[in-house]
Amino acid sequence: MDIDAVSTSYARWAPIYDRTFGAVTNVGRKRAVEYINTRPGSVLEVGVGTGLALAHYDPALQVTGIDFSEEMLAKARDKVRRLDLGHVRELRQMDARTLDFPDNHFDTIAAMHVLSVVPEPERVMGEIARVCKPGGKVVITNHFVRKTGALAVLERALAPVANFIGWHSDFEMDTVLGEGCLEVDAQKSLPPLGMMTFLVLEKRVDRQPTGLTEN
């Protein structure tokens, strides 16, 4: 999937996203935000879209959202204004493959139903790992391809039309598990039919060598 296809797809979906894909992914979004709300500090939501999650974050958090689609961001900004969401510090247009934030910057990073719709998801995960603080959490909800059964056959069949539908139906979980500094902390299947997965990764804290004491 290329970036122009993503932009075109989400410009097309933006007016109806909340009532279509947004409704389908509500369970995963709710589960992710509930978990994030148990943690303090700063949050980066990668692929904030139309801002469906923004009103549900704990007001004590400091939330930044990014998205490549200006059409989606316009909907999110309207929600922030209309609902007076003071905990949303910033909404920025940005390519998730090149995040414009310093290393080790956010306490929690959310990627809800976005990794299977971006080009070069491995590169996106590298950027997510970079800007997450050591000891911080990466909270992912996503559909991952099934290995067996009728749905697995359907997912593989839909793969060639990924650019049109704006979604990789054959997305492998291993794609998000390639960063050595991120370790799986929690994993759970979500309804309907276990089609979605809730996944929490923790950024490893590398201990500095203490050195040798000379006697």
- Residue 118 has, within 13 A of its CA and on its CB side, a CA count of 28
User: In terms of Cα–Cα distance, which of 86, 14, 90 is closest to 52?
Assistant: 14
Q: What is the pLDDT of residue 151?
A: 54
Looking up tokens 């990627």, which residue turns up?
A: 111
Domain membership flag for residue 89:
yes
For residue 69, give every residue at least 6 positions away whose Cβ sits within 8 Å of its Cβ, in sequence order, or none: 6, 7, 10, 11, 14, 49
- 102 SS3 class: coil
Domain that holds residue 178: 3-203
Q: What is the pLDDT of residue 209?
A: 47
CATH number of the domain encompassing residue 96 = 3.40.50.150
**Full-model pTM:** 0.80
* Rounded distance between C-alpha atoms, residue 90 and residue 183, angstroms: 28
Q: What is the pLDDT of residue 117?
A: 83
For residue 29, give every residue at least 6 positions away whose Cβ sits within 8 Å of its Cβ, in sequence order, or none: 52, 53, 112, 113, 141
Q: What is the pLDDT of residue 176?
A: 93
Rounded mean pLDDT for each run of 10 residues along the chain, 215 residues in total? 54 51 70 97 96 96 96 95 98 97 98 89 97 98 70 47 46 91 95 83 77 46
Q: What is the pLDDT of residue 174?
A: 92
For residue 197, give every residue at least 6 positions away whose Cβ sits within 8 Å of its Cβ, in sequence order, or none: 140, 141, 142, 143, 144, 173, 187, 188, 189, 190
Q: What is the pLDDT of residue 163?
A: 43
Q: What is the pLDDT of residue 191?
A: 80
Domain membership flag for residue 209:
no
Q: What is the pLDDT of residue 12?
A: 53
- Do 126 and 34 meet the contact criterion of CB atoms below 8 Å apart? no
Domain membership flag for residue 68:
yes
Helix or strand holding residue 177 (H, E): none
Domain membership flag for residue 211:
no
Domain membership flag for residue 185:
yes
* Structural domains in the chain (count): 1
Domain membership flag for residue 210:
no
Domain membership flag for residue 63:
yes
Domain membership flag for residue 137:
yes
